[in-house]
Structure formats: C-alpha cells, structure tokens
Amino acid sequence: MSEAALSSLLSGACEGLSRVGVAVSGGGDSVALLVLAVEALGAARVAAVTVDHGLRAEAAAEAAGVAALCQRLGVRHEVLRWDEGPAGGNLMDEARAARLSLIGGWARGRVDAVLLGHTLDDQAETVLMRLARGSGVDGLSGMEARRESGGLLWLRPFLGVSRDALRSELRARGIGWVEDPSNADPRFLRVRARQALSVLRDLGIEAQGLAETADRMRRARQVLEGEAQRALDALVTEERGVLRIDPAALDLPGETRDRLFAHLLMQLSGHPYRPRLEDLQRLLAAGQGTLMGCLLQRRGKALLLGREAQALRGVVCAADAAWDGRWQAEGPDAACEIRVMGEAGLAHLSRLAAKGEIPHWRETQLPRSLLQGLPGLWRGEALVAAPLVLWPQGWTLSARPLAAICTKTSQSH
C-alpha cells in the first residue's frame, strides 16, 4: 500500500477529531502508526502513550526509546506503569485489560480518540483463534475498526494493512523498532496462531482471506442485530426498573433470541461481554433462573428480568452519582446514599404499609425477589425513600435507557 493511501486511511479515520492519542509500545506496528499519524495529521493533533507492564527488564528502556522518538517528532508522550502486575490468571488477557484501562484513563479529557496499531495480520490471527474456540458470527467478525467503549472512541485504521507494509514504511524512513520476545513465545495462543498461518498457506488460507471472512461476518452480524433490535422494540418494555418480556421472545429463531437476551443481560448488568452460549441457552430453556447478576422469572404470561439483589450487595454510591451504572436519583437530601433495597428495604415498607401510611409493595404487581434488586435511598441503615416501590418521599429514580443492539455492545469472547 502506498504512502498516500496510508495517509488517506488515517485522515479519513480521524476526520472531525481535534486531537488523537496513539498507543505506542515500541513495536513496528505502533511505531509506524505514530510516525504516519504525525505525517498525516500534524504533530499538534497527536499525543502518544506507552504502557510499561513491568514484566520485562527491557521495558523501561523501550519506553524511553519511544519517548526519544516522540521528542524528535514534536509529540507529547507519557509513560504509564502497571503497578498491580498479574494476578496469576491469563497473563496476556490481564496485561491487555490493564493496558486498555490505563490508556483509557490517560485519554479521557486529553484526546478525542485513541488509535491502536492492529494490522491485517492481527485480524487474521484473531479470526483463527476464535475459530479454534468455536465462535459464531460475532466472534468471527473479528476486531472492529471503530469502537466505542468506556466513553471513549477506539480506532484501528490499519486493519486492512499488512505488518510487512508498515515495517517497509519505517525502513524507508530509517526508523527502527523493537521486537518483543513474547511475540515468538509459543506458550501464547496468538503466537501459535501466527505460526499456524504460515503452515495454512499451503491450503490457500492466508491473512487476507481470513480478514475478508471477518468483513463478511461483520455484515451478517449487522443483519442479525437488526432482527434482534426489531424484536426488542416489539417485545420488551421496562416497568419500575424491571424488564417485561413477551414470552413470544422465547420462540424467536435461535440466533435472534440468544442475541436479544444476551443484550438485555449486558444492559442490566453492565458486563461488556455476552454470556457464554451454553449458560444463556440453559437459562432460556428453563425460562427462569440467574445469570450475570440478573434474575429471570415468569409472572403470568410475561417474563420478567431484573437485577439480582445478591449481586448488588456492597454496591453503594452517593445520591448524586450513578448507581449500578444505570440509575440516577434526584431529591431533597444530598447526604443520602443509593443502595439495593434488599430484604431490609422491603421489610421497612411492609411496616409502613401495615400502619396504613403507604400502599403495600405488592401493588406494584412485581415479585418480591425482583423488587429487592431495585435501588433505594438510604441514610445509614435507615431507608428514607423507595421511589420505584410506591414511597417516593420527594425523590425520583431514573434509569439509563436500554441501548440499541449494535456491535459496540455485542462483543463476543
């Protein structure tokens, strides 16, 4: 791909953005992204960030090398450290999650978007790894070129550009890069996928073809999301913080049904990933149960889905903050906290109802277990208001509306 074409890719991806951040590890892909971004956008529109995971002795020197390059390019650069270190699980996943979290914190308020240096080869490796895990349409659609997450815009402008093409650009400019030895360590699945691709070429399976498969799967995914969105609009309503689902949703075609319920669980729980397919299908076959901190129950002819009280123990915030990622309160006493109703909250309401001071919570026509998972206003151990359970006391509680079913909220493992 020509230099002009690469510049056009970057300019198009960053159109309308005043300033972008570039995540630079020191490897060839991210260094090329930085250099080409400066050339396409100008140094004033670019900032750079490097995460030192503290996992290798060379990491500090590599970060210093990126800092020196940024100084030559006239780009502001910061180094972030992962002080917590791995907890002993999947090292690659932990490091990736920590890196995105640190970069996200750095980017907010500084830049309009973060550029990531993933390439055509990375896309092919991702598809191959997800194929090995038995992923469906969502997983095989690969990485998104444009994604919103955590209130930030993340861009991968070079998903259609090969790793070799980017390194050729650096060689032409006399700019070096570092090779992380972990990129050749067969203990990591991505490295084994990279090695497998070189063998699969004999079968005609190459990076370009796998990336094209991801594009086709992404288009199929959009069609499936449209069907699920139509089902959501027709079959799901929200009442007092609980979702009421027409039981016809269970008779939808399997892919549409699973996508709809996975989306609802993600929206209520705030979890960024869909539930495991076998767990979801087990829940839907039973028509009731718990999953991802949510509770599904039958009530007459309807299905009701809400938060499970047990999953919200310890979730506390000030009255002027967002509770459970969804709920905002307005009322007369800023000293209150938002906490889950729980059994104690309903017991308090029952005592008030017994005195004839308020209607009984049963008049909501919602099950006790789902009412327990709703938010209430508390001062210490005293419940002072339950706006969703017939005792507002001058308070209101409003939930963030359900988001549309789209790629940014339908990520797959």
Per-residue pLDDT at 388 exceeds 60: yes
Do 322 and 250 share a structural domain? no
Structure tokens at 362: 């049963």
Task: Please report which helix (H) or strand (E) contains residue 115, including its range.
Answer: strand 113-115
Neighbour tally for 284: CB within 10 Å: 20
- Secondary structure, 3-state, 134-149: CCCHHHHCCCCCEEEE
In a domain, 406, yes or no: no
Do 20 and 72 share a structural domain? yes
The pLDDT confidence band at residue 292, using thresholds 50, 70 and 90, is very high
Per-residue pLDDT at 299 exceeds 60: yes
Task: Give 408's DSSP letter.
Answer: G
* Nearest-angstrom CA–CA distance, 53 and 47: 20
In a domain, 409, yes or no: no
Do 57 and 78 share a structural domain? yes
Q: What is the pLDDT of residue 179?
A: 86
In a domain, 91, yes or no: yes
Do 350 and 266 share a structural domain? no
In a domain, 235, yes or no: yes
Q: What is the pLDDT of residue 88?
A: 64
In a domain, 412, yes or no: no
Share of the chain above pLDDT 70, in %: 97
- Domain-ending residue, one of 280, 308, 336: 308
Do 262 and 367 share a structural domain? no
Per-residue pLDDT at 105 exceeds 80: yes
Q: What is the pLDDT of residue 181?
A: 78
Helices (H), 236-372: 254-269, 277-286, 342-354, 368-372
Domain of 115? 3-212
Per-residue pLDDT at 413 exceeds 50: no
Average pLDDT on 154-176 reads 96
Do 198 and 242 share a structural domain? no
Task: Select from 293, 317, 282 the least CA-distant residue to 397.
Answer: 317
Average pLDDT on 243-251 reads 96
- Residue 43 maps to which CATH number? 3.40.50.620
Structure tokens at 94: 């932990």
Which amino acid is residue 319, in one-letter code? A
In a domain, 25, yes or no: yes
Per-residue pLDDT at 129 exceeds 90: yes
Per-residue pLDDT tens over the stretch 33-51: 999 999 999 999 999 999 9
Q: What is the pLDDT of residue 348?
A: 96
Average pLDDT on 6-18 reads 94
CB 118 within 8 A of CB 142: no
- Domain-ending residue, one of 308, 329, 358: 308
Task: Give 307's DSSP letter.
Answer: E
Average pLDDT on 278-289 reads 96
Share the mean pLDDT of the chain: 92
Do 321 and 301 share a structural domain? no
Least confident range from 7-21, 213-227, 395-409: namely 395-409
Do 284 and 206 share a structural domain? no
Q: What is the pLDDT of residue 241?
A: 94
Q: What is the pLDDT of residue 59?
A: 85
Task: Report how many domains make up the chain.
Answer: 3
- Alpha-carbon Rg of the chain, whole angstroms? 25
- Domain-ending residue, one of 268, 290, 308: 308
Do 136 and 15 share a structural domain? yes
In a domain, 221, yes or no: no
Share of the chain above pLDDT 90, in %: 77
In a domain, 142, yes or no: yes
Do 166 and 259 share a structural domain? no
Do 339 and 300 share a structural domain? no
Per-residue pLDDT at 199 exceeds 90: no
Do 395 and 251 share a structural domain? no
* Nearest-angstrom CA–CA distance, 293 and 307: 6
The pLDDT confidence band at residue 411, using thresholds 50, 70 and 90, is very low
pTM score over 0.85: no
Q: What is the pLDDT of residue 89?
A: 62
CB 214 within 8 A of CB 127: yes
